[in-house]
Amino acid sequence: MNGELIVVDDLPGAFADRVIGAFQQRPEELFCLALSGGSTARPCYERLAADSEGRVDWLSVNVYWGDERCVPPDSEESNQLLGRQALLERVGAANAVYPMSCEEGPDSYALRLGEVGKLDFIHLGMGPDGHTASLFPNSPALDADPGQLVARNEDPSGRNKHPRMTLTYAGLARARLVVFTVAGESKREALQAVIDGADLPAARVQADQIVWLVDRDAAPR
């Protein structure tokens, strides 16, 4: 398995603690945080907003996204909207916020990431099919060139609608820390497959450090 698996009773609280700890131990003045989307992300970000008061200087945080659906930024399916509602509007202001834009395209976002160098913290989830960010099984972005940090992608199965933009494996590998959050019985089979070494997209992520925070419903029996 790529990384350390930790089963927790309070997934949002464990996630918030990891972000706060990474911020407090950041090697540079600015802390670069990449957000995710999906149902597991919202309670994690709401908890981070609450628990970070007095512990995170958000004016020292630059915010990025790991993937985005090609929908308007005010769409209920927008990862940008989720991040703003659940986290950014609650903490007031970050130093800088860099949402992904399908209109601008992957090259523009890749240039921005190239200027950053390392991302301190990337948050990822995992779908029941084993996808993470918008890297879906059998999708073109899985085979992106090693120098390509961001790609357009789609789910060839059709289960996940909308074209996407996503960090590639090369983009994710620029993280000092990747934290997966996995919740619910619907994810248990995919998580077990990752543990067993199956070639699922989430199992192929590499970074300086990877931690899987898993609630008891998703944890293998």
pTM equals: 0.97
- State the pLDDT at residue 20: 98
Average pLDDT over residues 129-137: 98
Average pLDDT over residues 148-159: 97
Q: Which residues of 131-162 are buried (b: 16+ CB within 10 A; e: fewer)?
A: bbbbbbbebebbebeeebbbbbbbbeeeebee
CA-to-CA separations, 94 to 63, 65, 87, in angstroms, rounded: 7, 14, 10
- State the pLDDT at residue 221: 78
Average pLDDT over residues 194-219: 97
Q: What is the CATH number of domain 10-103+117-125+133-160?
A: 3.40.50.1360
Reported as a single tens digit per residue, the pLDDT across 75-113 is 999 999 999 999 999 999 999 999 999 999 999 999 999
Per domain, the residue ranges of the chain are: 10-103+117-125+133-160
